[in-house]
């Protein structure tokens, strides 16, 4: 275990792994090198979906419901069809004829591709126009005449299960309420018993409101159906091309080998690009109907109003402890608003995702949670957004409850956490809801964050400021994530489990290609995965191409989300490269006329033990593998390997975050003055990319804590349909990040890496909210819900109920 | 061994393998199904190189030498560069600056990309113009002013080694003559000893003239160099994309992983599309220089005058026998005209290719050959043309010599062959020049051909006609080919050996894809390889996609030529599919809770021995492999396999051909009245495709025998530069083919297949020429050289020297 304060990146990237680093802290494959994809991106040469223009391509647009709940009386498309540039108008009736009106989602639900009987949320897809250009398609939408009979919507999840509530999903046979599922984890009786004998119990309703991933690029698709070959090429903004291919094969009846899903450069995913949106299917239908490629790209408002939302959890949290500050148990009941359709919440076998990691980083005697999901007349919810499904909510709840407990006990929140951490010797640690945490050493991580922040000095400063009437808050969050979704037996998407493939192929001249089932949405896969191969084979990263995002070119796998890429595909890549290395050993032995067991590996070269002059480099071995030498028995003439990796367990990265805020007592405006983030994601590959991931996630978390909210009025109208209404942080709202790291490798991952993509998004909101509430201590504020907008903070200071925003 | 007269294909293809066929004659993977590629081809939806149009694409044209031999005094490109549509003009001097003026060929030679010092053949590349369109590029060629000093050319190979002959390749340090190589095979002393004691020795100079493969599509390339990624995408009409990629990496200095070679639909190869032509490299240079894609496509005249030629062998053949007709030995000295550059003649370690198969199908005591290669001022020669390098020449020589011997002995040529065949019990048969024939059973094949032809009846008819002064000829050819170029140790292309890779991947829903290193030029690979997988995995051929011709999507391999695809890649595919099947067995066992050793395979399904109701189909197994079940230890979650196959030996298909001709005594015009072809290519996959290959090759052979010739005048001007001058057969010149087959599987090939692509091209010319000479028997004609044009036949009848054509 090494604890290191990250130095800012200045000067050119060093090509050598830091020779003074300890073994555990040694970055992989030349470490802090510049990203291979950046020459393309910084020159504006990325190729995003909307950059793709196919010959003869038409353009689609979607007519959407203006109301949250209504019965469709009639749809008249006559005028739209008469538009001279319109090639086709598709309605739900047309799709019914094709048996495509309803499509399975990645969860156990179905979703209307185009509404047939009713509209169930504002923005729901009602009709699809295909026209010569985007402008004509949008114009023609206004020529479609839809008559609705307005119905009372279910907007508040708290009322969804009330007797007499309107039934959102009444198309389902025998459905008379809005109940989606009930689920529990942990031992209720044992937890109740612990609570009964606890000295202190703190209870609080904690709401994680509905937010949106708001990626830079909206969603879109281009479908190109070739009637001669019967082959569908589908360009999509997707994080999961292979799963989509299989799903399309099942849904649309196009054989799987006749479907190619291409995910080009993607401008941000964060979970928003996991699901299959109606627009994708409509583009396919449009292409089949017109015989031409059809492009459909959302505008910003469509993306914000209709694509899958995250969170929307109303959590009643309870924490039990002794008077001395030993935390004994946690429990919670959750009401989960899933909107009108379950989109992508439950590809796991747990309908509440991984929420049961809500036991946090603490050694507890018991824990229990229940989650009840409900349908409402809102856009499909329950998506993963920069977290392994529901981990963000879990971490937020427990870290809020720990702060409430510290407040109740009159104890410093850092001290309370330090007293209750799972101890290093307890790993692998079985928590009380069924997880086995792979590895951890929490105290040094916490201590590094406190040292970097100057925690004691901050508390002194806070006391002085309070004495002057200034509102300074210090917020702590210590999180443990569960990421790297797998093993395959935990998941089930239309029969598919969670495993990911990687192929490594070394060309004759010693250059290599890596083919991955996972796809980058900006995370730097082209660099990171080349570095893993570089580490294993000694080939420089620039000599390794990374291919992804094309089902025709890559092995099968479940895709990128839940920080899976490095924990799952990173393992597959490392193991495939090791297979190549072992094969290279046999060939080198033949070349050197030595026994394989007499060879040693170093820096891309097999050599005879004791005689380093007798060796063969990877390019030499590769040319021989493809060459004319006699190969050993059972070795065929390539240096290729494929591995599909099913992780034996998830990985459990963790971190300690400390946020310092100042609150304006006159306006309630919150300024994040400092943010210290110490992350432990196990073995680190490229520290620069890791820091970039952390920086982005921290901004994300600050945004959720302070400004982001998708709200609805009482009629179910979405109030967050533009960036004027849905605020996201800019460089003005965030401080210079102070990052550090510790390294506790995962014991079951081939290179010990745990994944870092979502840590900061998961870990930072409680630190910010805890800091705001800490700042408001002089006003007796015990809790307030996100986002901590000036109006809400000011209301809290006045002891008033939380205003909408 | 089964001997079958093929029935004509009528009615719809049957989807079931013929249930009454014997085991050896059972076709593979549903047998006679229609070709999967034909819906594309017959609807005009094939995508050939010239169909590809890239955004911003420019067009290149090549200025060619008007003379066979000349010194370049100066090149003035000023006017061409001033053409408003011209983007670049490239000369040899420009290439010298890039170190690209000379490029290595697939043999041990180099070839001028653009002439610098001298032009060495008529049509040699001198300058390259890149312009907005093809028309402007061709116009601008006329604006380039080249001053030449004309030199005396070497045109006749017989004079190339004469003292004082002009030196073609004087750019080579210390080169003072036109000698390319000397090579021999067999035991000279032993052969001389046998000849010395033979009763009968027949000697004849036999010329196989220079001919051209003349594929339907000419050669071309589109180079698209992306300066941002540093990646070159090169669309080429090539039979060997991977070898080209490696060569380009070495020649052009572009790293191998940054080169993608795509070989789209190809309109015929026949060896013409193996080499790297200067135009390909010029397209690359053009794209790098202009920053835009550059297309270059030959016109017909360029193809006929400058791309690699075949044959051009002057062979002094000798055959020794006993008076009773036991053939004892053969020997020959060959003078091989390789033109100005060795292009693709010698990727093997034998500079005369596989010529030493000239011992034919006969059990000999000794054999010896020498081959001397020379440079002349002709277009690069020595290419393989629908034969494993030089097999066509070898078969032609021995089958002519056997007929001459029969004539000398007064013996029926069929009888002489039957007496001398290698006997079935002698296989594997080591011939006297180093080959080991894998399997054969020649007599039944010969007898079937004789039976189909009604041989005895034909001889009676001939006798009657001769009595009436009519000229009827019956020609026999019995050939043994050596195809399936490998093993890897026999070859060396810039360090690359001969092996080919295949990947089989089964998608979750049970559809599959096969990826191949070999590429179709019309042979029906998309069907044949799908059938091999269908046979092994029980997946219907229509559920299997075959991907080839794209180095980014396929495993490494040496490509399609020498009938390699089925013997080499077919083996790789079968073995990869068997790996998948074995893996499927382990997964099925886990699903069935049975031991793998208790399972049996039948028709795409593993089931429990003794309980056929307990089984799992491939789609079920595949979904499980990608699904959520617990997999057996050591089995990862895919049904993918890759095999690179290095054959232990070549394969030796054989056949008996009988041709019946009528010669017009007044004009010398030859009519091929009947042609019986019985082929044995081992195990047959799709009989319809095999018959198509045979039909095409027979037409090819009739063309060479009767009309095809690339000739030169004394100044080295090519006389065959258009289809007005270079005649190829049409439907008018060929009879209805009568085909039959025997099946003698190759013992070392996984499915016993031997390859059929070139048999008819190799085997038919001697049958036709033997028939013509047989017809001319009343005129005392013992031999005449191809092509047997009316003028030549008439001259032979008059006992006059052979006129040019």
Q: In angstroms, what CA-CA distances link A161 with A167, A180, A297, A336?
A: 9, 10, 36, 12
Question: In chain B, which segments carry CATH 3.30.365.10?
Answer: 310-485+649-797, 499-645
| pLDDT, tens only, A240-251 | 999 999 988 988
Decide: A403 and A395 in contact? Cβ < 8 Å.
no
Q: Is the pLDDT of residue A100 over 60?
A: yes
DSSP assignment, residue B99? T
Q: Quick one: pLDDT band at residue A14, thresholds 50, 70, 90?
A: very low
| pLDDT, tens only, A327-381 | 999 999 999 999 999 876 555 677 888 999 999 999 999 999 999 999 999 999 7
State the pLDDT at residue B13: 34
Q: Quick one: pLDDT band at residue A521, thresholds 50, 70, 90?
A: very high
Decide: A479 and A647 in contact? Cβ < 8 Å.
no
| pLDDT, tens only, B653-662 | 999 999 999 9
Rg (CA), chain B: 27
| φ, ψ dihedrals at B438, nearest 5° | -75, -45
Q: Give CA–CA dist B385/B758, Å, rounded.
A: 9
Residue % of chain A over a pLDDT of 90: 85
Q: Give CA–CA dist B763/B774, Å, rounded.
A: 17
Min mean pLDDT across A26-30, A692-696, A739-743, B297-301 is at A26-30
Q: Quick one: pLDDT band at residue A588, thresholds 50, 70, 90?
A: very high
- Which residue among B256, B511, B645 sits closest to A509, beta carbon to beta carbon? B256
Task: Please give, rounded to a whole number of angstroms, the shortest distance from the CA of B13 to a CA of chain A.
Answer: 20
Chain A residue numbers touching B556 (CB-CB < 8 A): 505, 507-508, 626, 638
DSSP string, A443-502: HHHHHHHHHHHTHHHHHHHHHHHHHTT-EEEEEEEEEE--BS---GGGB-BTTB-S-EEE
For the segment A783-794, the average pLDDT, to the nearest whole number, is 96
Q: Give CA–CA dist A670/A772, Å, rounded.
A: 7
Q: Give CA–CA dist A115/A313, Å, rounded.
A: 27
| pLDDT, tens only, A158-204 | 999 999 999 999 998 889 999 999 999 999 999 999 999 999 999 99
Q: Quick one: pLDDT band at residue A386, thresholds 50, 70, 90?
A: confident
The angle that helices A618-625 and A571-592 make with each other, rounded to 10 degrees, is 80
| pLDDT, tens only, B220-262 | 999 999 998 899 999 999 999 999 999 889 888 899 999 999 9
State the pLDDT at residue B492: 72
For the segment B385-411, the average pLDDT, to the nearest whole number, is 93
Q: Is the pLDDT of residue A501 over 90?
A: yes
State the pLDDT at residue A766: 98
Do A642 and B640 make contact, defined as CB atoms within 8 angstroms? yes
Q: Is the pLDDT of residue A680 over 90?
A: yes
Decide: B585 and B294 in contact? Cβ < 8 Å.
no
Do A555 and B497 make contact, defined as CB atoms within 8 angstroms? no
Token pair for B648 = 């232990």
Minimum CA–CA partner of A41 in chain B:
B228
Tell which of A38, A349, A487, A508 to mutate to test the B interface (max B CBs under 10 Å): A508
Decide: B481 and B353 in contact? Cβ < 8 Å.
no
Q: Quick one: pLDDT band at residue B772, thresholds 50, 70, 90?
A: very high
Q: Is the pLDDT of residue A48 over 90?
A: yes
Question: In chain A, which segments carry CATH 3.90.1170.50?
Answer: 49-151+219-297
Q: Is the pLDDT of residue B725 over 50?
A: yes
Task: Please give, rounded to a whole number of angstroms, the shortest distance from the CA of B393 to a CA of chain A.
Answer: 27
Ramachandran sector of residue A545 (left: φ over 0; alpha: ψ -120 to 50; beta: rest): beta
Fold of B499-645: Aldehyde Oxidoreductase; domain 4 (3.30.365)
Residue % of chain B over a pLDDT of 70: 96
DSSP string, B397-409: HHHHHHHHHHHHH
Q: Which residue has the higher pLDDT, A22 or A688?
A: A688
Q: Quick one: pLDDT band at residue B347, thresholds 50, 70, 90?
A: low
Q: Give CA–CA dist A268/A340, Å, rounded.
A: 25
SS3 A362: strand
Q: Which residues of B51-85 are buried (b: 16+ CB within 10 A; e: fewer)?
A: ebebeebbbbbbbbbebbbbebeebebeebeebeb
Given CATH 3.90.1170.50, say whether it is the number of domain A49-151+219-297: yes
Q: Is the pLDDT of residue B350 over 90?
A: no
Q: Is the pLDDT of residue A25 over 80?
A: no
Q: Give CA–CA dist B95/B93, Å, rounded.
A: 5
Minimum CA–CA partner of A228 in chain B:
B40
Do B256 and A630 make contact, defined as CB atoms within 8 angstroms? no
Q: Quick one: pLDDT band at residue A7, thresholds 50, 70, 90?
A: low
Residue % of chain A over a pLDDT of 70: 96
| φ, ψ dihedrals at A755, nearest 5° | 100, 140
Q: Is the pLDDT of residue A761 over 70?
A: yes
State the pLDDT at residue B711: 94
- Which residue among A228, A256, A543 sits closest to B39, beta carbon to beta carbon? A228
Min mean pLDDT across A252-261, A488-497, B517-526 is at A488-497
Do B544 and A257 make contact, defined as CB atoms within 8 angstroms? yes
Q: CA dihedral defined by B414, B420, B425, B428, rounded to 10 degrees?
A: -110
- Which residue among B513, B627, B646 sits closest to A257, beta carbon to beta carbon? B513
Token pair for B509 = 């829903």
Q: How many helices (H) and strands (E) does chain B have?
A: 18, 31
Whether a cis peptide bond, with omega within 30° of 0, leads into B428 is yes
Q: Give CA–CA dist B577/B618, Å, rounded.
A: 12
Q: Give CA–CA dist B310/B304, Å, rounded.
A: 12
Do B511 and A255 make contact, defined as CB atoms within 8 angstroms? yes
Q: Which residue has the higher pLDDT, A108 or B433?
A: B433
Q: Which residues of B175-213 are buried (b: 16+ CB within 10 A; e: fewer)?
A: eebbebbebebbbeeebeebbeebebbbebebbbbbbbb
Q: What is the largest CA-CA distance in chain A?
A: 86
- pTM, full prediction: 0.94
Task: Please give, rounded to a whole number of angstroms, the shortest distance from the CA of A555 to a CA of chain B.
Answer: 8
Q: Is the pLDDT of residue B313 over 60?
A: yes
Specify the residue for token string 């819906």.
B39
Nearest to A505 by CA among B549, B642, B625: B642
Degrees to nearest 5, angle at CA A597 with A596 and A602 = 80
Token pair for B453 = 């032809």
Q: Give CA–CA dist A692/B224, Å, rounded.
A: 34
Do A640 and B555 make contact, defined as CB atoms within 8 angstroms? yes
Do A257 and B229 make contact, defined as CB atoms within 8 angstroms? no
SS3 A711: coil
Chain B residue numbers touching A640 (CB-CB < 8 A): 501, 555, 642, 644
Q: Is the pLDDT of residue B22 over 60?
A: no
State the pLDDT at residue B10: 40
Q: Quick one: pLDDT band at residue B12, thresholds 50, 70, 90?
A: very low
Q: In angstroms, what CA-CA distances link A529 with A359, A548, A571, A742, B554?
A: 33, 11, 10, 22, 21
Ramachandran sector of residue B175 (left: φ over 0; alpha: ψ -120 to 50; beta: rest): beta
Nearest to B333 by CA among B158, B479, B166: B158
Task: Please give, rounded to a whole number of angstroms, the shortest distance from the CA of A488 to a CA of chain B.
Answer: 5
Decide: A450 and A325 in contact? Cβ < 8 Å.
no
Q: Is the pLDDT of residue A802 over 90?
A: no
DSSP string, A5-23: EPPP--SSPPSS--TTS-T
State the pLDDT at residue A281: 95
For the segment B587-606, the average pLDDT, to the nearest whole number, is 96
State the pLDDT at residue A801: 66
Q: Please give the distance of CA B641 from its chain centroid, rounded to a whole number.
A: 29
State the pLDDT at residue A346: 57
Task: Please give, rounded to a whole number of angstroms, the shortest distance from the CA of B495 to a CA of chain A.
Answer: 5
Fold of A310-485+649-797: Aldehyde Oxidoreductase; domain 4 (3.30.365)
Spatial CB neighbours of A731, under 8 Å, sequence gap ≥ 6: none
Chain B residue numbers touching A511 (CB-CB < 8 A): 249, 255-258
State the pLDDT at residue A23: 56
| pLDDT, tens only, A420-468 | 999 999 999 999 999 999 999 999 999 999 999 999 999 999 999 999 9
């Amino acid at each position: 275990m090494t604890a290191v304060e990250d130095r800012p990146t200045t000067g050119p990237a060093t090509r050598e792994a830091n020779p003074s680093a300890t073994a555990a802290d040694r970055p992989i494959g030349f470490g802090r090198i510049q990203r291979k994809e950046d020459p393309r991106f910084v020159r504006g040469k990325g190729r995003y979906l909307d950059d793709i223009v196919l010959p003869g391509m038409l353009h689609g647009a979607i007519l959407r419901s203006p109301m949250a709940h209504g019965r469709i009386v009639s749809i008249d498309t006559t005028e739209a069809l008469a538009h001279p540039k319109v090639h086709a108008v598709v309605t739900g009736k047309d799709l019914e004829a094709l048996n495509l009106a309803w499509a399975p989602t990645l969860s156990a639900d179905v979703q209307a591709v185009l509404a047939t009987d009713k509209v169930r949320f504002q923005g729901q897809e009602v009709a699809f126009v295909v026209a010569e250009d985007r402008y004509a398609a949008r114009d023609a939408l206004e020529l479609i005449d839809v008559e609705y009979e307005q119905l009372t919507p279910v907007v508040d999840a708290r009322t969804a299960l009330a007797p007499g509530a309107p039934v959102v999903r009444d198309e389902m046979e025998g459905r008379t309420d809005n109940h989606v599922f009930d689920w529990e984890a942990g031992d209720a009786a044992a937890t109740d018993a612990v609570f009964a004998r606890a000295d202190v119990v703190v209870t609080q309703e904690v709401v994680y409101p509905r937010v949106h991933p708001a990626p830079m690029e909206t969603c879109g698709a281009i479908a190109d159906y070739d009637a001669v070959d019967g082959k569908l090429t589908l360009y999509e903004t997707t994080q999961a091309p292979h799963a989509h291919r299989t799903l399309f094969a099942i849904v649309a009846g196009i054989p799987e080998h006749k479907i190619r899903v291409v995910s080009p450069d993607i401008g941000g995913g964060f979970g928003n690009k996991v699901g299959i949106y109606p627009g994708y299917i409509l583009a396919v239908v449009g292409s089949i109907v017109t015989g031409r490629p059809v492009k459909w790209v959302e505008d910003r408002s469509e993306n914000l109003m209709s694509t899958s939302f995250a969170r929307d959890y109303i959590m009643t949290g309870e924490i039990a402890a002794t008077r001395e500050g030993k935390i004994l148990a946690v429990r919670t009941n959750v009401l989960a608003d899933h909107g009108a359709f379950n989109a992508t919440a439950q590809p796991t076998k747990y309908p509440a995702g991984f929420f049961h990691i809500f036991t946090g980083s603490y050694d507890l005697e018991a824990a229990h949670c229940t989650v009840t999901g409900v349908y409402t007349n809102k856009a499909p919810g329950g998506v993963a957004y920069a977290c392994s499904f529901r981990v963000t909510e879990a971490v937020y709840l427990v870290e809020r409850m720990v702060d409430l407990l510290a407040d109740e006990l009159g104890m410093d929140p850092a001290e309370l956490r330090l007293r209750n951490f799972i101890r290093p010797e307890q790993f692998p640690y079985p928590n009380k809801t069924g997880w086995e945490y792979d590895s951890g050493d929490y105290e040094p991580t916490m201590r590094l964050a406190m040292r970097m922040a100057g925690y004691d000095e901050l508390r002194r400063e806070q006391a002085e400021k309070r004495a002057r009437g200034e509102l300074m808050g210090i917020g702590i969050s210590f999180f443990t994530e569960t990421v790297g979704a797998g093993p395959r037996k935990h998941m089930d998407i239309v029969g598919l489990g969670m495993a990911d493939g990687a192929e490594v192929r070394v060309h004759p001249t010693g250059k290599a290609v890596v083919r991955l089932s996972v796809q980058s949405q900006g995370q730097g896969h082209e660099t990171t995965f080349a570095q893993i191969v570089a580490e294993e084979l000694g080939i420089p990263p620039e000599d390794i191409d990374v291919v992804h995002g094309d089902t025709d070119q890559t092995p099968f796998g479940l895709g990128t989300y839940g920080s899976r890429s490095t924990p799952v595909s990173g393992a597959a890549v490392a193991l495939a490269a090791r297979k190549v290395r072992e094969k290279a050993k046999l060939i080198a032995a033949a070349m050197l006329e030595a026994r394989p067991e007499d060879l040693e590996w170093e820096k891309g070269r097999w050599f005879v033990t004791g005689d380093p002059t007798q060796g063969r480099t990877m390019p030499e071995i590769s040319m021989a593998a493809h060459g004319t030498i006699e190969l050993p028995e059972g070795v065929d003439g390539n240096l290729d390997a494929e591995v599909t990796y099913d992780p034996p367990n998830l990985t459990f990265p963790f971190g300690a975050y400390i946020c310092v805020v100042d609150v304006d007592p006159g306006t309630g405006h919150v300024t994040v003055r400092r943010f210290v983030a110490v992350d432990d994601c196990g073995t680190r590959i490229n520290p620069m990319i890791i820091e970039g991931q952390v920086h982005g996630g921290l901004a994300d978390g600050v945004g959720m804590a302070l400004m982001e909210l998708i709200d609805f009025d009482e009629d179910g109208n979405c109030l967050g349909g533009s960036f004027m209404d849905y605020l996201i942080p800019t460089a003005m709202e965030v401080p210079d990040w102070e990052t550090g790291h510790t390294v506790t490798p995962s014991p079951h991952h081939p290179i010990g890496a745990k994944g870092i993509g979502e840590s900061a998004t998961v870990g930072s909101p409680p630190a910010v909210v805890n800091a705001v509430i800490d700042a408001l201590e002089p006003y007796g504020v015990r809790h307030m819900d996100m986002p901590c907008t000036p109006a809400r903070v000011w209301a809290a200071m006045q002891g008033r109920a939380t205003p909408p925003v």
